[in-house]
Structure 1
Amino acid sequence: MPLPTAAPAAAAATSLPSALVMLLACAAGLSVANVYYAQPLLDAVAREFAISQAAVGGVITATQIGCALALLLLVPLGDRVERRRLMMGQLAALIAALLCVAAAPTPALLLAGMLAVGLVGTAMTQGLIAYAAAAASDSERGRVVGTTQGGVLVGLLLARVMAGGVADLAGWRSVYLTSAAVMGSLALVLWRYLPAQPLSSEAPRYGQLLLSLLTLVARQRTLQVRGMLALLMFAVFNVFWTAIVLLLSAPPHNLSQTAIGALGLVGLVGALAAARAGHWADKGLGQRTTGYALLLLLASWLPLWLAPVSLGALLLGILLLDMAGQAIHVTNQSLIFATQPAAHSRLVSGYMLFYAVGSGLGAISSTSAYAAFGWNGVCVLGASLSLAGLWFWRAMLRLAAH
């Protein structure tokens, strides 16, 4: 039985104002950025707290654990608690978590703060996407949700640029102080301009929401297969983006945190180039798109292998990596959402749980591989995970054919 959703607001019968759609996209981008600020800062954090290169990936892993907990425990609350009110509470908690990270005196408190940032930042981001879907009319839902998810993509990639630039100017702690101020301003704007979304009187209990989510993950075949591909793909992403900071901040490159963060701009070009993957999936070409994208993901590690001696090869590798990853991600979502349109929020939570696990495992294994075997070890790890994704996809195709 489908979960009840927010009662349709009067504004949903007509087109949402473009300004409101852009506000949702900007808010989603600013929210998700908090989860990714740490990547270009790992080297500075490791030096200040005397954390080894093998262990500093735990900062990213703590954030991803928070993401997983949010998807499991907080995101479903949007079907029970009025979303604007829920967002205000989440923004207050996110500001507190960011201040905790900025003031952390010990590694333990830093990890606790990063876990909280991942927890509330993820819940806020996914809540905005759910708000966009509920606020839009049937005729414009794809456009509105697509624009909001575009904001997530831009925020995710540009987070590295912003974090690197601010850290170079005022230190890594200032990144989180700045973000706390931005989130405070965002709270005021959302409270002023975001309409409330009254809930249905039949809103399910919290326990029913969680049980329904777990049932989907346990029984929905497409979600399981596409979730595993997401786990491997996002592990590959974090293997690269975590270790590249350690490589480029050391000789012979000696790049600043701003320059390292700016690499996200290259990824943005590649990711936007893969936007048509959803159209191909709608035309029944989802499996073919997945196969080509997985091959491209594997091939990206050849130019990435040359990163220690060639920045040009590095830029090409980033372009291929992000193009392949975004194509897989978009195709995964298109195929999953087609299975049970009435269960959109639960499918998002279930799918992104796989994403969070893969991201956390990729981060911690990346720094361990770099400490033990250098950049070559990172490339072998990334290529192996890419090959595992390709093998898994082929195996599932063969299994479905019998």
Structure 2
Amino acid sequence: MDAWRRLLLAVVCGVAVAGVYAAQPILEPMGHDLGLSPGLAGWIVATGQFGYLAGLVLLVPLGDVVDRRRLIAVHLTVTAAGMLLTASASAAWVAFAGLATAGLFAVVVQTAVAYAASVSPPAERGRSIGVVTSGVVVGILGARVATGMLAEVWGWRSVYAVLAVLSLGLAALALAVLPSEQRPGRPAGYGRAVASVGGLFGQRLFLTRGLVAFFLFASFGTLWSGLSLPLGAAPWRLSEGRIGLFGIAGLAGALGAARAGRWADKGRAVPVSGFALTLLIVSWAAIARLPSSLWLLVVGIVLLDFAVQVVHVSNQHLLTTANPDRISGVVGSYMVFYSLGSALGAAATTAVFSARGWAGSSLLGAGFAACALAVWAIDRRPPVDSTPPGTEAAGARRMRQEARRG
């Protein structure tokens, strides 16, 4: 796949995921304008997240049935409709309907990753996944900065209007420049594609990589969902705008891991994952110094996001190589672990911070990272039969050989 097509898919991912997280910096004005009490404003973000989880189960398996190029365009178009509905909402229920729609079809992210993996030669699959997945991190972290700037100038509705326009433009570009997939054999029906997802949970490889992702993103969520609490309190008392700028440090770390896909292509996914998880634990030692040093916090954020991106790309490379006949299903199911882990980190960090301060939150994040490393260590040498029957393609054999070498 050409570099500029990878870039297009990365932008698709960034715009789609930004729609899910865009409300975080603008909850107060958005809730006030829609007539929501402060206690209910959190449902603005939750609605999109619930829609996203539903899409992982119901929509992502479609990628194993129909042409993913057309599916990307359709998902982006419906996402744009949800954004426009939200931007024009005069009542809370209308906004919720738009956010749920946008969240449901934001799973175009997983379809784009699966498409990149399927059209790339085996020797370049990890590189393609790495570049496309980087768009997700840009969307999550970049949305914190861009949303605040747009809302400050034109109001919160402009955020969703801009995202809608971008989604429609990307839908047209996807149809115009992305090649159709060439799939051997006849694709399975939708019912069979959804049912096959359940079989993934019988794979040791899928379960262990999913558990690594669960603890990995619980650690990630512990930082990013709790960071504003100590930064907004004494001694720093930073404004929301300045707190959002720390997302740039996370972005630098995530983009620094762009070579993770190339490392996976060279057969280093397993050992590199172990190194990155160790680095994740180390990053919390720097992050824990937040009460006394913002510079050490920046260093810790860069290391943490670098480590998270390396492991995330390596996991997807291993799973898509082992399951070439159901790439969309395996990517979507894997992301369920990601969503649940992020939710756990977000919920736990606020409770721990209230009881034990930032030191407690830092120990929590490091603990999640240690659990991920423990799962990786246990599964460092998966058994030969870790992949299901019918996936004995060269890519799957290569993956198992790589795991043994790791």
TM-score band w.r.t. shorter chain: 0.7 to 0.9
Letter in 1 for 2:254: A
Q: Distance in 1 between matches of 2:381 and 2:185?
A: 46
Q: Distance in 1 between matches of 2:165 and 2:222?
A: 31
Matched, 1:244 2:227: yes
Q: Residue 326 of structure 1 corresponds to which residue in structure 2?
A: 309
Matched, 1:129 2:97: no
How much has 1:112 moved relative to structure 2?
Answer: 5.3
Question: For residues 18 and 106 of structure 1, do their structure 2 counterparts lie closer, same or farther at Cα, with a shift above 3 Å needed?
Answer: same
Q: Is the 8 A contact 1:29 1:156 kept in 2?
A: yes
Select which of 18, 33, 36 maps to 1:33. 18
Q: Residue 58 of structure 2 corresponds to which residue in structure 1?
A: 73
Select which of 158, 162, 184 maps to 2:168. 184
How much has 1:221 moved relative to structure 2?
Answer: 0.7
Select which of 154, 157, 175 maps to 2:138. 154
The one-character-per-residue Cα deviations of 1:57-84 (angstroms, maximum 9, x if unpaired) are 6655543333322221101112323334
TM-score (norm 2): 0.79
Q: Is the 8 A contact 1:98 1:179 kept in 2?
A: yes
Q: Is the 8 A contact 1:80 1:199 kept in 2?
A: no
Select which of 261, 265, 275 maps to 1:292. 275
Q: Distance in 2 between matches of 1:215 and 1:43?
A: 43
Q: Residue 230 of structure 1 corresponds to which residue in structure 2?
A: 213
Q: Residue 197 of structure 2 corresponds to which residue in structure 1?
A: 213
Question: For residues 108 and 250 of structure 1, do their structure 2 counterparts lie closer, same or farther at Cα, with a shift above 3 Å needed?
Answer: farther
Q: Is the 8 A contact 2:126 2:264 kept in 1?
A: no
Q: How many residues align?
A: 382
Question: For residues 255 and 106 of structure 1, do their structure 2 counterparts lie closer, same or farther at Cα, with a shift above 3 Å needed?
Answer: farther
The one-character-per-residue Cα deviations of 1:348-380 (angstroms, maximum 9, x if unpaired) are 122112112112222233334445554344323
How much has 1:92 moved relative to structure 2?
Answer: 3.0
Structure number with higher relative contact order (C-alpha < 8 Å, ≥ 6 residues apart) = 1
Q: Residue 186 of structure 2 corresponds to which residue in structure 1?
A: 202
Q: Distance in 2 between matches of 1:269 and 1:95?
A: 28
The alignment yields a C-alpha RMSD, in angstroms, of 3.5
Q: Distance in 2 between matches of 1:242 and 1:34?
A: 17
Letter in 1 for 2:194: L
Q: Residue 116 of structure 1 corresponds to which residue in structure 2?
A: 101
How much has 1:35 moved relative to structure 2?
Answer: 2.6
Q: Distance in 1 between matches of 2:28 and 2:372?
A: 30
Q: Distance in 1 between matches of 2:314 and 2:42?
A: 29
Q: Residue 83 of structure 1 corresponds to which residue in structure 2?
A: 68
The one-character-per-residue Cα deviations of 1:145-184 (angstroms, maximum 9, x if unpaired) are 5433333343333222212322333444432232122223
Q: Residue 22 of structure 1 corresponds to which residue in structure 2?
A: 7
TM-score (norm 1): 0.80
Q: Residue 317 of structure 1 corresponds to which residue in structure 2?
A: 300
Q: Is the 8 A contact 2:260 2:310 kept in 1?
A: yes
Instruction: Find the residue that maps to 2:163 and give its secondary structure.
Output: helix
Q: Residue 175 of structure 1 corresponds to which residue in structure 2?
A: 159
Q: Residue 3 of structure 1 corresponds to which residue in structure 2?
A: none
How much has 1:317 moved relative to structure 2?
Answer: 1.5
How much has 1:325 moved relative to structure 2?
Answer: 1.2
Q: Distance in 2 between matches of 1:294 and 1:140?
A: 24
Q: Distance in 1 between matches of 2:29 and 2:365?
A: 24
How much has 1:237 moved relative to structure 2?
Answer: 0.9
- Which 10-residue stretch deviates more, 250-259 or 318-327? 250-259
Q: Residue 341 of structure 2 corresponds to which residue in structure 1?
A: 358
The one-character-per-residue Cα deviations of 1:240-267 (angstroms, maximum 9, x if unpaired) are 1112234434554444444333322212
Select which of 239, 243, 248 maps to 1:265. 248
How much has 1:312 moved relative to structure 2?
Answer: 1.1
Question: For residues 45 and 148 of structure 1, do their structure 2 counterparts lie closer, same or farther at Cα, with a shift above 3 Å needed?
Answer: same
Q: Distance in 1 between matches of 2:311 and 2:371?
A: 14
The one-character-per-residue Cα deviations of 1:105-140 (angstroms, maximum 9, x if unpaired) are 677665554443332112x12222333344456676
Q: Residue 257 of structure 2 corresponds to which residue in structure 1?
A: 274
Letter in 1 for 2:152: D
Matched, 1:94 2:53: no
Question: For residues 282 and 71 of structure 1, do their structure 2 counterparts lie closer, same or farther at Cα, with a shift above 3 Å needed?
Answer: same
What are the ranges of 5 or more consecutive residues in structure 2 without an aligned counterpart? 384-403
Instruction: Find the residue that maps to 2:290 and give its secondary structure.
Output: coil
Q: Distance in 2 between matches of 1:134 and 1:334?
A: 11
Q: Residue 9 of structure 1 corresponds to which residue in structure 2?
A: none
Select which of 145, 148, 152 maps to 1:164. 148
What are the ranges of 5 or more consecutive residues in structure 1 without an aligned counterpart? 1-15
Instruction: Find the residue that maps to 2:38 and give its secondary structure.
Output: coil
Question: For residues 395 and 187 of structure 1, do their structure 2 counterparts lie closer, same or farther at Cα, with a shift above 3 Å needed?
Answer: closer
The one-character-per-residue Cα deviations of 1:303-350 (angstroms, maximum 9, x if unpaired) are 222324422122112112112212221232233234333333222122
Letter in 1 for 2:75: Q
Q: Distance in 2 between matches of 1:147 and 1:275?
A: 6
Identity among equivalent positions (%) equals: 40
Q: Is the 8 A contact 2:126 2:265 kept in 1?
A: no
How much has 1:300 moved relative to structure 2?
Answer: 1.9
Q: Residue 4 of structure 1 corresponds to which residue in structure 2?
A: none
Select which of 290, 295, 305 maps to 1:307. 290
Letter in 2 for 1:306: R
